[in-house]
Amino acid sequence: MTGEVDLDARGLRCPLPVIELARLARDLPPGRTLVALADDPAAEADIPAWARMRGHTVTLERRGAHTAYVVVLG
């Protein structure tokens, strides 16, 4: 994974991490990768569910107190 972070949602609570990620993704082309950092436990269910509904793929990387969500837009 690259060092690029598109969204630092650490400290934001549900549903803000997924709302902000969806806002960023809205105007981007398929194939673009977004990296979001979040520490809200609800994001672990919310972000993959949102990605699935939109046809995106997502992988999670645990990094201590937060998780990096790597989303490839479909």
The catalytic residue positions are 14
SS3 56: coil
Beta bridge partners of 62: 67
Dihedral sign (CA 13, 26, 60, 47): positive
Q: What single DSSP character describes residue 33?
A: E
Phi, psi of 43 (to 5 degrees): -60, -25
